[in-house]
Amino acid sequence: MNDILPEASGTWRFLEQSVQDLVQSYGYTEIRLPLLEYTELFRRSIGEVTDIVEKEMYTFLDRNEESLTLRPEATASVVRAGIENGLLHNQRHKLWTAGPMFRYEKPQKGRYRQFHQFDVEALGYEGPDVDAELIIMSARMWKRLGIDRIRLEINSLGSPDSRVAYRKTLVNYFSGVKNRLDDDSIRRLEQNPLRILDSKNPDMQAIIAAAPVMLDDLDDESAGHFAELRVLLDEAGVAYTVNLRLVRGLDYYNRTVFEWVTDALGAQGAVCSGGRYDGLVEKLGGRATPAVGWAMGMERLVALYAACGGIVPEQHADVYLVAVGDVAQRRAFSLVEELRSSIDGIRIELNLGGGSFKSQLKRADKSNATYALILGEQELADGNIGLKPLRSTEDQISVAMNELAGMLAARLA
Ligand code: ATP
Ligand code: MG
């Protein structure tokens, strides 16, 4: 679990804000959710026989002996909230949410126990138009941020029925190579063979690569849905590869699944992943509601943005007020507040804790402010204030106090 320190938080805020602005411009609105849910919610939605539920959840009993879990992902909570608040009765919602997620994984670069996701969910939409729009929206996000080392993989998991057929195909195949499966996969063979395809074990990759693919078992409607999605992506000029072994690690997906992957971050290549989960609302007790969404790992976005040469606009003060002497220091307090009232959005820092003229000016320089304002006893007596440009070779000038706000506003505009 990481601390995000001041030197990094500017990048985080910039990226969070960029992503929020983008999805808001597509009509998504924010929903804020609790970090804790009943454990049962995740067991039922993500699935008992998955990495997350079997090994990765932070689960504990509260004082009332109820089993609670720190959320490992957001989709289940969005659906729970939608049902509980009556948002899903013949309504459609495009929602976004963001915040920390918790998974007890082996920490390594790009993989943490508390990490952050940005999440979008479209509830009540059958697609494939919304599937396409969600993907196109993410493609625009990379473009806006100048992220080019990323590519898209898509697949279709079909309907629940066609998954039953595919499951049989997989059990057959993996049973034939059972002596080469790892312990997890042997355990999952009967319970959840699809999960074997999502194994991260390098020793399993050859067996997985040779496994039969879903496509052969795909039902007609899902095949049509997938074909239309591809047409829409083609028309939008969004490039992709069909990865027939992309299944995702959670049980609730059907039909469209996709993943944006990068080679810029080593082994942790998945940056943004999602898919359709038409059965989940009903499974959790709501009325059948088609839905689709994606989640992006913010730590990986931050790293990828840097890897692609992204630079974050620096945050610094416009003005640093230097005040020397007791009287000037007291006057400085009211002066900065007057300036804040008269110049909208001005970023102004008041020297705190006194100090000599020289040491205050040093602080002003360190603050990266554009100007220092200098107030001493002489200036007070004359009704003036010194304005010293800190980022240019321009000379300091003296400004009449009653002209200061106007002059600063003009210079900062
Ligand atoms: P991975 O294949 O890397 O384990 P995942 O399939 O488990 O990822 P999802 O559950 O789809 O991931 O979560 C969506 C996104 O959240 C991922 O694409 C990734 O960017 C990010 N993510 C997932 N787990 C972690 C983690 N432990 N630390 C940091 N980011 C993570
Ligand atoms: Mg994972």
For the stretch 67-70, contacts whose Cβ atoms lie closer than 8 Å and that sit 24 or more positions apart, written own/partner, are 67/38, 67/39, 67/40, 68/36, 68/37, 68/38, 68/39, 69/36, 69/37, 69/38, 69/39, 69/41, 69/42, 70/35, 70/36, 70/102
- Ligand (nearest to CA of 267): 1
- Ligand (nearest to CA of 106): 1
Q: Which atom of ligand 1 is nearest to the CA of 52?
A: 7
Residue 183 lies in a domain: no
Which residue has the CA at smallest separation from atom 19 of ligand 1? 297
Residues 52 and 55: their CA atoms lie apart, in Å, by 6
Q: What SS3 state is found at 368? A: coil
- Ligand (nearest to CA of 101): 1
Distance of CA 403 to the CA centre of its chain: 46
Do the beta carbons of residue 327 and residue 315 sit within 8 Å?
Answer: no
Q: How many domains does the chain have?
A: 2
Q: Is the domain of 299 the same as that of 342?
A: no
Q: Is the domain of 234 the same as that of 379?
A: no
Do the beta carbons of residue 76 and residue 36 sit within 8 Å?
Answer: no
The CATH number for 247's domain is 3.30.930.10
What is the β-pairing status of strands 371-375 and 384-389?
Answer: antiparallel
Q: Is the domain of 245 the same as that of 366?
A: no
Tell how far the Cα of 296 is from the centroid of ligand 1, in angstroms.
8
Last residue of one domain, picked from the residues 307, 337, 364: 307
Q: Residue 146: left if φ>0, alpha if ψ -120 to 50, beta else—which one?
A: left
Which residue has the CA at smallest separation from atom 22 of ligand 1? 297
Tell how far the Cα of 299 is from the centroid of ligand 1, in angstroms.
10
Q: Is the domain of 292 the same as that of 329?
A: no
pLDDT of residue 359: 97
Q: How many other C-beta atoms are found inside a 10 Å radius of the C-beta of residue 209?
A: 9
What is the β-pairing status of strands 29-30 and 93-102?
Answer: parallel
Q: Which atom of ligand 1 is nearest to the CA of 260?
A: 18
Q: Is the domain of 132 the same as that of 41?
A: yes
Last residue of one domain, picked from the residues 273, 307, 341: 307
Q: Is the domain of 68 the same as that of 122?
A: yes
Q: Which atom of ligand 1 is nearest to the CA of 111?
A: 28
Q: Is the domain of 241 the same as that of 359?
A: no
Q: Is the domain of 284 the same as that of 331?
A: no
The CATH number for 343's domain is 3.40.50.800
pLDDT of residue 245: 87
pLDDT of residue 216: 78
Residue 136 lies in a domain: yes
128 preceded by a cis bond (ω within 30 of 0): yes
pLDDT of residue 316: 86
pLDDT of residue 121: 98
Last residue of one domain, picked from the residues 257, 275, 307: 307
- Ligand (nearest to CA of 112): 1
Tell how far the Cα of 297 is from the centroid of ligand 1, in angstroms.
6
CB-based pocket (< 6 A), ligand 1:
73, 103, 105, 110-112, 115, 117, 249, 268, 270-273, 295, 297, 299-300
Tell me which residue range forms the domain holding 397.
Answer: 319-412
Residue 207 lies in a domain: no
Q: Which atom of ligand 1 is nearest to the CA of 248?
A: 6
Q: How far is CA 57 from CA 46, 73, 293, in A?
A: 11, 10, 22
Do the beta carbons of residue 291 and residue 93 sit within 8 Å?
Answer: no
Q: What is the pTM of this model?
A: 0.91
Residues 333 and 96: their CA atoms lie apart, in Å, by 41
Tell how far the Cα of 83 is from the centroid of ligand 1, in angstroms.
26
pLDDT of residue 275: 97
Residuewise pLDDT in 10s, the chain (413 residues): 999 998 899 999 999 999 999 999 999 999 999 999 999 999 999 999 888 999 999 999 999 999 999 999 999 999 999 999 999 988 999 999 999 999 999 999 999 999 999 999 999 999 899 999 999 999 999 999 999 999 999 999 999 888 888 888 999 999 999 999 999 999 889 888 988 988 889 999 999 999 998 877 889 999 999 999 999 999 999 999 999 989 888 888 999 999 999 999 998 899 999 999 999 999 999 999 999 999 999 999 999 999 999 988 777 899 999 999 999 999 999 999 999 999 999 999 999 999 999 999 999 999 999 999 999 999 999 999 999 999 999 999 999 999 999 999 999 98
